[in-house]
Amino acid sequence: MYALQQKILSEGIVLSEQVLKVDAFLNHQIDPELMRQIGVEFAERFKDAGITKIITIEASGIAPAVMTGLVLGVPVIFARKYQSLTLKDDLYRSKVFSFTKQTESTIAISNKYLHSEDKVLIIDDFLANGHAALALVDLISQANATVCGIGIVIEKSFQTGRKLLDEKGFKVESLARVKSLTDGQVSFVES
CB of 39 or CB of 161, closer to a second copy: 39
57 and 79 Cβ atoms separated by less than 8 Å: yes
Are the C-beta atoms of 186 and 8 separated by less than 8 Å?
yes
Residues 42-61 that bind a second copy (CB under 8 A): 58-59
**Residue among 32, 104, 166, 182 that touches a second copy (CB under 8 A):** 32
Within positions 117 to 146, which residues make up the interface with a second copy, using CB under 8 A? none
Nearest CA among 60, 80, 190 for reference residue 128? 60
Smallest distance, Å, CB 191 to a second copy? Answer: 26
**27 in a labelled binding site:** yes
Supply the minimum distance, in Å, between the C-beta of residue 169 and a second copy: 27
Task: Please identify, using beta-carbon distances, which residue of 73 and 169 lies nearer to a second copy.
Answer: 73
21 makes contact with a second copy (CB under 8 A): yes
What does residue 84 show for φ and ψ, rounded to 5 degrees? -85, 165
The Cα–Cα gap between 114 and 93 comes to 13
Residue 86 or 191: the one with the smaller Cβ distance to a second copy is 86
φ and ψ at 43, to 5 degrees?
-60, -40
- Asked whether the bond before 108 is cis by omega within 30 degrees of 0, the reply is no
Binding site for 5-phospho-alpha-D-ribose 1-diphosphate: residue ranges? 128-132
